[in-house]
Amino acid sequence: MGVDNVDVEACSRRGIVVANAPYGNVVSAAEHTVGMLLALVRRIPEAHTRLKHLEWNRSLYGSELARKTVGVVGLGKVGSRVAARLRAFETTVLVHDPYIPERRARDLGARLTDFDTLLRESDVVTFHVPLTPETANMVTATELARMKRGVRIVNCARGGIVHEGDLLAALESGQVAGAAIDVWSEEPPTGEVVTALVRHPQVVVTPHLGANSSEAQVNVAVDVARQLVAFRDGGLVEYAVNIPVGDPALVGELRPFVVLAERLGRFIVQLDPENVAKVEVTVAGAVAERDPELLARAVLAGLLDPVTAEHVNLVNARLVASDRGIEVTVAKEEETSGYKSLLTVAVEARGGRKVLAGTVFDGQPRIVRMRDLKIEFTPEGYILVLAYEDRPGVVGSIGTLLGRRNVNIAAMHVGRRVKRGRAIVVLILDEDLTPDQLTEVTATIGADFARLIRLP
């Protein structure tokens, strides 16, 4: 799935297609996870080692999975298969994944919940998320302390998701009863903390073997071969990570709107990332006469690429959306609200319906509507979005606070329907904000909504 060891940008500049095989080993990874969990709770490795040394010891007592609550963090290709298999053990399955609709969890017999609830209620927590800036060290001493005493941790996803030093300390204190780990922040492990975790008697370990089944290797090889044949014959390279679909000339002609569509997707997923169930893409005006499907794929690529392990682009965007249970509709309209062309994206998620619209001026993408308010700005860089009841002094307070933090405001845009009514302010910043700074801004002005959007 990963292309971490390939310079995709350099390949793209040279016209080299980069492809992967993201589906061939998912069953293998899911089965390995369940196998590691069973080995952990039934103490199989310890019993195996003792008997190999001809020590007949029947006093090793494990635990059953039946009637336990298992928390699955991430319901993608592997996580969904793990959840389905765990149901067969008569477990209660909780799921946390802010990027899938609730019906996806229900279809698997699981209950979608927030991260904190999953940590508090689960007897076992297993992780199936990509390693991103958002998921790196998503479980530290703070999160481990919120779990049940005696919880068990399984990580067969990526090293670095669970802080290894904090996990080691929790094992020593008894807060965590055991762990099953296939992936490491150092591979092979060399550091003092990681090697201590590997050697810990309450930890079941394997050397990143999740995808290592003979069937998975055949599946991956066949997928790769099929794509090579498709490339040779001029067909669609199904899992390409760096090429578009459709007529290259048309893509070039629509490029400013493709860029706009991708940025609308990236913007809206950061604006409200919770459990997207449906995406509606509406094109109006001159651009509607070209290729609405291409623009819809660009929206999906922008929305899904930041939150999935695989690279999402114009080739595979529909496939990835379908795999995650997201409904996608594409429509044309005549009404353009006074613009020559207009692209509108509406997302239905747990937090309600969010709407974002944009157009292109002089070749540059512009957002022209948020929710039901007209507001115009260029979607790039660090964008602070705040919503509050408009009153004198708010803008000055924001400027003063950011100034004290050495954060420069490059531009400011305000949208509102009536004087001193509800307003949305968009601040284009030259510098990033820390979570603490964002919290401080929110509290200072009494904002009921605050997001920092990061766009290339």
269-297 pLDDT per residue, tens: 998 767 888 999 999 988 888 878 889 98
134 is catalytic: no
Taking residues 313-322, what's their average pLDDT?
82
Please indicate, yes or no, if residue 49 is contained in any of the structural domains. Answer: yes
Letter for the amino acid at 209?
L
Which of 9, 64, 172, 187 is an active site residue?
187
What is the pLDDT, as a whole number, of residue 16? 80
pLDDT of residue 39: 96
Residues 53 and 107 placed together within one structural domain of the fold: yes
Alpha helices in 330-415 (DSSP H): 394-404
Residue 21 lies in a domain: no
Burial class (CB in 10 A: 0-12, 13-18, 19+), 352: exposed
Residue 208 annotated as catalytic: yes
Which of residues 378, 411, 441 is at a domain's end?
378
Model confidence pLDDT, tens digit, residues 188-234? 999 999 999 999 999 999 999 998 999 999 999 999 999 899 888 87
- Written as one letter, the residue type at 327 is E
Residue type at position 172: E
Q: Is residue 12 part of a domain?
A: no
- By percentage, how much of the chain surpasses pLDDT 70? 97
Whether 146 maps to a domain, the answer reads yes
Domain identity same for 294 and 360 = yes
> Which of the listed residues 343, 378, 413 is the one where a domain comes to its end?
378
Whether 53 is catalytic: no
CATH code, domain with 46: 3.40.50.720
**Does 5 map to a domain?**
no
Same domain, 109 and 147: yes
Q: Are residues 55 and 145 in the same domain?
A: yes
Write out the residue range of the structural domain in which residue 316 sits: 244-378
Q: Is 202 left (phi over 0), alpha (psi -120 to 50) or beta?
A: alpha
Indicate which residue of 50, 120, 208, 290 is catalytic. Answer: 208
The confidence score (pLDDT) of residue 262 equals 93
Q: Would the pLDDT of 425 be above 80?
A: yes
Q: Are residue 280 and residue 387 in the same domain, yes or no?
A: no
Q: What rounded mean pLDDT belongs to the chain?
A: 89
pTM: 0.76
- 14 in a structural domain: no
Specify if 147 maps to a domain: yes
My answer on whether 345 and 407 are in the same domain is: no
Q: Of 32, 158, 266, 324, which residue is the catalytic one?
A: 158
Q: Is pLDDT of 140 > 60? A: yes
- Model pLDDT, residue 342: 93
Of 151, 177, 205, which residue sits at a domain end?
A: 205
428, containing H or E segment: strand 422-429
Q: What is the CATH number of the domain that holds 399?
A: 3.30.70.260
Residues 56 and 201 in one domain: yes
Tally of domains in the chain: 3
Question: Which residues make Cβ contacts (< 8 Å) with residue 65, sequence separation at least 6?
Answer: 37, 38, 41, 86, 89, 90, 91, 124
Sequence-ordered alpha helix ranges (H) in 88-134: 102-107, 115-121
pLDDT > 60? residue 246: no
- The verdict on 340 and 402 lying in the same domain is no
Long-range contacts of 333-341 (CB under 8 A, 24+ apart): 333/282, 333/283, 333/284, 333/288, 334/284, 334/285, 335/284, 336/284, 336/285, 337/368, 337/369, 339/285, 339/368, 340/285, 340/286, 341/257, 341/283, 341/284, 341/285, 341/286, 341/287, 341/288
CATH of residue 301's domain is 3.30.1330.90
Looking at the predicted structure, is the pLDDT value of residue 248 above 60?
no
Between residues 341 and 237, which one has the greater pLDDT? 341
Write out pLDDT tens, residues 1-55: 777 788 887 887 676 888 888 888 999 999 999 999 999 999 999 999 999 999 9
Is residue 69 assigned to a domain?
A: yes
Task: For residues 275 and 416, state if they share a domain.
Answer: no
pLDDT at 75 over 70: yes
Residues 248 and 368 in one domain: yes
Mean pLDDT, range 322-350, rounded to an integer = 88
First to last CA, the chain: 24
Shared domain for 130 and 253, answered yes or no, is: no
pLDDT digits (tens, 9 = 90+) for 107-118: 999 999 999 999
Concatenate the DSSP letters of all residues of 255-324 into one string: HHHHHHHHHHHHHHHHH--S---EEEEEEEEGGGGS-HHHHHHHHHHHHHGGGSSS---TTTHHHHHHHT
What's the rounded Cα separation, in Å, for the pair 291 and 289?
Answer: 7
40 and 123 fall within a common domain: yes
Across 116-145, average pLDDT: 93
CB atoms within 10 A of CB 80: 26
* Encoded tokens for 15: 């016209």
